[in-house]
Structure 1
């Protein structure tokens, strides 16, 4: 695997954890390639890690099965806000390919209702809203499960309806903010400029919104007696 090319983007570790690879670097003394990455969902305070390319490309044993330690998630797209934050930290954003594959031709490697906390669940719904809605509309238009399983489509539909209804009712005060940030794709910086706010104020608004949505997600699960978070691994 030494010749494997590691590109910026999301990767799923063999144990289910998702990470975002930012870039690669070369050790000046040994010439060894190093992978620079951060955990996903992104923390409020950025924390970065490094792994040798040899370790990153290695295999691991999981439940008696040999798996690649990290597998690329082709359909998880980094948001404009995440790119902006990386650039603010001094990292270059991911290179964009000119050729775009059609949505129906892509394999949906995204997992639904697999967050570890309700706050992460709330962030996941918002950051993937445009992709999820496009996927849903494609399936409805084609009258088939386009690059998605029947069970994942049910989760996708359930989450979209819940979020849309929440924004029309309990979270109506955040409706315009959500549209500008997660539908139109404004970064925190551009949203702040458009509304003549400082970045700290927008960060605080986003934190309030995510917390409010997380609370609703938790209350829904408690009312229905169902947990939509990732189940802990049983030993």
Structure 2
């Protein structure tokens, strides 16, 4: 039986675990096909790592509740976003042929502020958008109009997070200041940051994950002290309200 083709993109494992397939490579000794992938649960702390799956194992079926199902199912409706492609490209993998990107930093692009579901995601979001948010802030001050943010509330939230990050790096997160400057102020990739800091890439990846964890803890402590939650809130409906909406 011929094996199915495997494409770069998002897949879901039979147990619901999402992954991102980066590429299919050949074992130089056996010529066996190997699927290179990474965890697509972007709230996880270890999603910087890559994993290998034998092609035959990737394509096989498993039995779930007495029913034979594909082990991995392609999520054709989920588009490959620019951030994901940029991440794997900086890690040395080529872009998916069907999804070419031109990387243009654009401070005019609409910025979704505080849309994270966990504090780890929130910390990562502030760090990864720091450089561009700083440029947006300076443009808004110069031109006296909102650029890249939808309204005054979003602008104030962006400013608050920028100030909190800067203050944290001067105090509690000072040990991570050099890494932050290379990765997020200067915008260097992990590989280039490792070269600049004369460290191997693994060390930088672990330090970066540690930075996210430490910053996430500070963000949570800030919310607890302020008595607010700056994470995105799931909307909950009362069963009676749902019935009323359907009428």
Shorter-normalised TM range: 0.5 to 0.7
Matching residue of 2:203: 201
In the alignment, does 2:48 pair up with 1:44? yes
1:216 & 1:228 partners in 2: Cα distance? 12
Deviation at 1:116, TM superposition (A): 0.9
Larger radius of gyration: 2
- Structure 1 unaligned blocks of 5 or more: 1-7, 10-18, 25-36, 57-69
Is the CA contact 1:188–1:203 (under 8 Å) kept in the aligned structure 2? yes
The aligned runs of 1:178-217 (5 Å cut-off) are 178-217=180-219
2:105 & 2:41 partners in 1: Cα distance? 27
2:83 & 2:206 partners in 1: Cα distance? 24
The aligned runs of 1:46-125 (5 Å cut-off) are 46=50, 51=74, 53=76, 56=77, 81-85=87-91, 87=93, 92=96, 95-97=100-102, 103-104=107-108, 106=109, 108=110, 110-125=111-126
Runs of 4+ deviating beyond 3 Å: 19-24, 37-42, 44-53, 70-73, 76-82, 90-98, 100-104
Matching residue of 1:141: 142
Matching residue of 2:129: 128
- Structure 2 unaligned blocks of 5 or more: 1-7, 10-17, 24-38, 53-71, 238-247
For residues 88-114 of structure 1, what are the alpha-carbon distances to aligned partners after superposition, in whole Å with 9 as ceiling and x for unaligned?
xx654964448x69644x4x0x32112
1:20 & 1:135 partners in 2: Cα distance? 33
Is the CA contact 1:20–1:38 (under 8 Å) kept in the aligned structure 2? yes
Q: TM-score normalized by structure 1?
A: 0.64
For residues 4-33 of structure 1, what are the alpha-carbon distances to aligned partners after superposition, in whole Å with 9 as ceiling and x for unaligned?
xxxx99xxxxxxxxx999889xxxxxxxxx
Is the CA contact 1:118–1:217 (under 8 Å) kept in the aligned structure 2? yes
Deviation at 1:125, TM superposition (A): 0.5
Q: TM-score normalized by structure 2?
A: 0.61
**CA-based RMSD:** 3.8
Aligned length: 186
Query: SS of the residue aligned with 1:128?
Result: helix
For residues 118-160 of structure 1, what are the alpha-carbon distances to aligned partners after superposition, in whole Å with 9 as ceiling and x for unaligned?
1111110011111111111111111121242111111111101
1:138 & 1:51 partners in 2: Cα distance? 41
Is the CA contact 1:139–1:145 (under 8 Å) kept in the aligned structure 2? yes
